[in-house]
Amino acid sequence: MTDTLPEGFEPLFRSSPFLDRTGPFYSSGRGAKMKIGLRVLDHHLNARGVVHGGMLMTMADIALGYAMATSAEPPVQAVTAQISTDFAGSAKLGDWIESSADIQKVGRTLAFCNVYLQVGDQRIIRASGIFAVTSKT
């Protein structure tokens, strides 16, 4: 396992008590170019020794919401209304998981975004989210 981060990644610019307990998460870029990263640690694993599905869904929610929110200036304020997640693989201790987002639309009341979580070239999660926009300028 390596403690190094890929080039351009820094600690997530905004956190919460929940994210502090589930992370640490890292980020690079903004908007559709934003990537969220996570180095898999012991506390991310389930009893089978792979990353817990709830952990992957948490990361997908972060990646979807932060990419969508930072696609505008000032950032869009929104809350998650729906997430659909498809599991196509998993990750193990020491793996680097990284997101790539596709912002479909940020409207006046709803925003739509898709994200993939990958380990290397392997896509392990496909998720789509709908967000209720609470303020947008």
- Determine the 3-state secondary structure of 41 from DSSP: coil
pLDDT at site 17: 87
Provide the CATH topology of domain 10-135: Thiol Ester Dehydrase; Chain A (3.10.129)
As a whole number, mean pLDDT of residues 77-88 equals: 96
Q: Is the pLDDT of residue 137 over 60?
A: no
Residues sharing a CB contact under 8 Å with residue 77, sequence separation 6 or more, in sequence order:
69, 133, 134, 135, 136
Rounded Cα distance between 72 and 107, Å, is 11
Q: pTM of the prediction?
A: 0.91
As a whole number, mean pLDDT of residues 117-126 equals: 97
Q: Is the pLDDT of residue 1 over 50?
A: no
pLDDT at site 3: 65
- Determine the 3-state secondary structure of 27 from DSSP: strand
Dihedral of alpha carbons 137, 126, 123, 9, sign? positive
Report the range of poorest mean pLDDT among 33-42, 72-81, 98-107: 72-81
Domain ranges for the chain? 10-135
Give me the half-sphere count of Cα atoms (radius 13 Å) on the Cβ side of residue 54: 8
CB 98 within 8 A of CB 64: no
